[in-house]
Structure 1
């Protein structure tokens, strides 16, 4: 990417608002064997065996089918556990070690691969599958998912004893995965809304890796970065919502290729 050195030179010359921030989506984990969401082979396009996920992935569906959603949750945990961080995850760790406090990593992914690769500070704006919380929001507490429940195959149900482990210890009602569903809103407590917007405000260049920009907060992060003078580089295989929403901005750049290709060039330019 011919503009990359010029962008980094400009960012490095600043005394403030010179952070380098990465925003990652499902595309960065595709090399680990985890399906993307809205690409041509994405699970939101093809659906699951039983549902289209855009209707399955809602609190409304969970409130009527909690057992079913929990079973699918432990199936997804199995998929994530069997996957391994790929070269792009490890390159981000190397970049973090180089940039130190100027580096920020914001992810839409709930697969835990960044942490397993060694990333130290990760802002998970869509939550994660390590935690659960009260479905009735009786408190602000978040709990670790019970390790006693084994990971499940797609057609393997939870037992009665396993379901008993998925109740709120304070009020006894159902818990829920600590993730953001389609019919819910971002907040600071669970999804770092204000923290990540502040990071974007102080970002010299925001690099999008494998996100299609189909949800609101990622678009707000791009908007915030551009508003305060930062550049945005969209690294994806194809055009997407970011292209449509910000493609006419002079601070918006496109890189069409893999995350690994870009990160290799980025390290050389850095």
Structure 2
């Protein structure tokens, strides 16, 4: 690709689906057999914290058996070899990008393997259950919650993301529905800045018409092919 130096990549549930991680919402409005409103909102946590903490404990444990797939590996290869600016913005809370070897990763929706203390507001790496109300490693209060962004909460590091898009030559969206904002609006921001845009997705997303180019297929096939193409110049 000519004149490409700085790249911003947005990844969504579709890139991890091939690793066996459920996509966010199915046709019945359920997420891993739970109503999204019950397990992914501040109101759901306030109403039934035991349900929410137990749900994320199960997700954290299930993540241990999942492995990065060819799409994660390809982006890690790009991260290692790309001399320009690169930012992988992921909507996913799994750690598969990092386990594949990627370093330049921003988790805009938080991370399963992180805990947020509601008392001191500090974040801590976390692998253990939370449902038994363990103490915060920093302040010792039994006030931990999953460090994930729920509906109604502001995604993390938005200013850093917008700054990267302003400096980008290419914006790539991989495995996203194009339905969840603010991430769904990044392509429009990029287009307004005359940034080249590319979609790699299993099928055309709700925002496909905003992209200069949209390629359909499995992430495990599309992403390695695109990485080879962009690294070849």
- TM-score, length of structure 2 as denominator length: 0.88
1:261 correspondence with 2:230: no
1:141 correspondence with 2:122: yes
Distance in 1 (alpha carbons) for counterparts of 2:114 and 2:28: 23
Distance in 2 (alpha carbons) for counterparts of 1:146 and 1:87: 25
The alpha-carbon deviation at position 166 of structure 1 amounts to: 4.8
* Cross-structure match for 1:208: 173
* Cross-structure match for 1:117: 100
> Residue 174 of structure 1 is aligned with which of 133, 143, 161?
143
Query: Which secondary structure does the structure 2 equivalent of 1:29 belong to?
Result: helix
Count of aligned pairs:
230
* Cross-structure match for 1:155: none
Query: Which secondary structure does the structure 1 equivalent of 2:54 belong to?
Result: helix
Alignment CA distance shift 1:225-1:44 (3 Å): farther
Distance in 2 (alpha carbons) for counterparts of 1:131 and 1:43: 29
- Equivalent positions of 1:237-248 (< 5 A) are 237-243=202-208, 247=209
Please give the per-residue CA displacement for 1:185-236, whole angstroms capped at 9, x wherever unaligned: 23xxxx1110011111111111111011222221232222112111111111
Greater per-residue helix proportion: 1
Asked if 1 retains the 8 angstrom alpha-carbon contact of 2:115 and 2:124, the reply is: yes
Distance in 2 (alpha carbons) for counterparts of 1:173 and 1:78: 21
Distance in 2 (alpha carbons) for counterparts of 1:216 and 1:44: 20
Query: Which secondary structure does the structure 1 equivalent of 2:173 belong to?
Result: strand
Asked if 1 retains the 8 angstrom alpha-carbon contact of 2:60 and 2:127, the reply is: no
Query: Which secondary structure does the structure 2 equivalent of 1:222 belong to?
Result: helix
* Cross-structure match for 1:22: 9
- TM-score, length of structure 1 as denominator length: 0.77
* Cross-structure match for 2:87: 104
Query: What is the root-mean-square deviation in Å for CA atoms of aligned residues?
Result: 2.3
The alpha-carbon deviation at position 54 of structure 1 amounts to: 3.8
Any gaps of 5 or more consecutive residues in structure 2?
A: none
- Point out the structure with max Rg over C-alpha: 1
Asked if 2 retains the 8 angstrom alpha-carbon contact of 1:134 and 1:168, the reply is: no
Distance in 1 (alpha carbons) for counterparts of 2:226 and 2:54: 40
* Cross-structure match for 2:73: 90
Please give the per-residue CA displacement for 1:149-171, whole angstroms capped at 9, x wherever unaligned: 49xxxxxxx4xxx32x1558538
Any gaps of 5 or more consecutive residues in structure 1?
A: 1-7, 13-17, 151-157
